[in-house]
Amino acid sequence: MKVLVTGAAGFIGFHLCRRLAATRRCEVLGVDNLSDYYDVALKRARLAGLAPLEKFRFVQADFAEAENFRRLHEGFRPDYVIHLGAQAGVRYSAENPAAYVHSNLAGFVSVLEACRARPPKHLVFASSSSAYGADASVPFSEEQAADRPVSFYGATKRANELMAHSYAHLHGLNATGVRFFTVYGTWGRPDMTPIIFAKAICEGTPLKLFNEGKNRRDFTHVDDIVDGLLKILLYPPPPPERAVPPYRIFNLGHHRPVEMRLFVAMLETLLGKKARIELLPPQPGDLPETCADLTRVQAAVGYAPRVALEDGLRGFVEWFKDYYRF
Known catalytic residues?
A: 153
Distance CA 267, CA 315 (A): 11
**Phi, psi torsion values for 19, nearest 5 degrees:** -65, -45
Radius of gyration for the chain, computed over Cα atoms and rounded to the nearest angstrom: 19
Q: How far apart are CA 135 and CA 146, in angstroms?
A: 7
At 40, the amino acid letter reads: V
Q: What is d(CA 129, CA 326) in angstroms, rounded to the nearest whole number? A: 32
Q: How many CA atoms lie within 13 A of 295 on its CB side?
A: 6
Angle at 194 between CA 303 and CA 224, to 5 degrees: 10
Alpha-carbon distance of 105 to 100, in angstroms, equals: 7
Q: What is the DSSP string of 259-325?
A: EHHHHHHHHHHHHT---EEEE-PPPTT--SB--B--HHHHHHH-------HHHHHHHHHHHHHHHTT
User: Burial of 258 by CB count in 10 Å (0-12 exposed, 13-18 middle, 19+ buried)?
Assistant: middle
First CA to last CA distance, the chain = 41
Collapse the DSSP code of 8 into the 3-class scheme (helix H, G, I; strand E, B; otherwise coil) and give the result: coil
Residue 312 is which amino acid? Answer: G
